[in-house]
Amino acid sequence: MSEISKGTERSTKCQEHQILHGRLRADTKVYVDATRRLESCKQEDFEETYEAAESARLAFLRARKALALHVVAHKCER
Ligand SMILES: [Zn+2]
């Protein structure tokens, strides 16, 4: 029951996909950086650093899900 593509393969990139992908990359970087800080932070800063890493992780997951949902709904590859 899949809708076969209507032959309009103009290889134009999906702009929303690009935006979501860019956001995912940015959120991934923030998450990775936050995780690195966790390794070297002082004991008394740990909770705060951990909270920052955790919210960065959630943002990363949201961005990843947003991109995945977009791909499913829109059937675009990039
Ligand atoms: Zn798209």
Q: What is the rounded distance in angstroms from the CA atom of residue 70 to the CA atom of residue 56? A: 21
Ligand 1 centre distance from Cα of residue 10 (Å): 13
Q: How far apart are the first and last CA of the chain?
A: 23
For ligand 1, an ion, list residues with CB under 5 A. Answer: 14, 17, 74, 76
Ligand 1 centre distance from Cα of residue 30 (Å): 24
At 22-74, the pLDDT tens digits run 999 999 999 999 999 999 999 999 999 999 999 999 999 999 999 999 999 99
Judged on CB neighbours under 10 Å (0-12, 13-18, 19+), 63 is buried
With cut-offs at 50, 70 and 90, classify the pLDDT of residue 77.
confident
Per-residue pLDDT, 45: 96
Ligand 1 centre distance from Cα of residue 9 (Å): 13
